[in-house]
Structure 1
Amino acid sequence: MGMKRLALLKKLRKGAAMRWKKLATSIRVSIFDTVLFKIVSVVEAIALVSTLCFFYLCCGCHI
């Protein structure tokens, strides 16, 4: 009976360790995703503003 209990405890510890590893990995991915989203947003904003400036410089604004 003692060996089954010991085997069960080992499985539970292993499962808990895997959950922590998955959590740590997901936190790293979340931080990377947040930083990447901010960088892409800034690049997109610059592209949109430069397109708008190019339109006004080349085509003019005739209202």
Structure 2
Amino acid sequence: MGMKRLALLKKLRKGAAMRWKKMATSIRVSIFDTVLFKVVSVVEAIALVSTLCFFYLCCGCHI
């Protein structure tokens, strides 16, 4: 009876440790994803504004 309880406790401890590792990795990926999204958004905004400026400078505004 004691051996089964000990084996069960070891499994529970190992499962809890793995859960915390997975959560820590998930948090890191989430932070990285958030930062990367902001950087890509800024780069895309700069590209769109520069394209618009290039159009108005080279082609003029004929409305």
Fold shared per TM-score above 0.5: yes
Q: Which consecutive residues of structure 2, in runs of 5 or more, have no partner in the other structure? A: none
Q: CA deviation at 1:34?
A: 0.3
- Normalised to the residue count of structure 1, the TM-score between the two structures is 0.99
Q: What is the Cα deviation at residue 2 of structure 1?
A: 0.1
Deviations 1:12-48 (A, max 9, x none): 0100000000000000000000000000000000000
For this pair of structures, how many residues does the alignment match?
63
Matched residues in 2 for 1:61 and 1:18: separation? 61
Listed as ranges, the gaps of 5+ residues in structure 1 are none
Q: Which runs of 4+ in 1 moved over 6 A?
A: none
- The percentage of counterpart residues that share the same residue type is 97
Superposed counterparts of 1:24-35, under 5 Å: 24-35=24-35
Q: TM (normalized to structure 2)?
A: 0.99
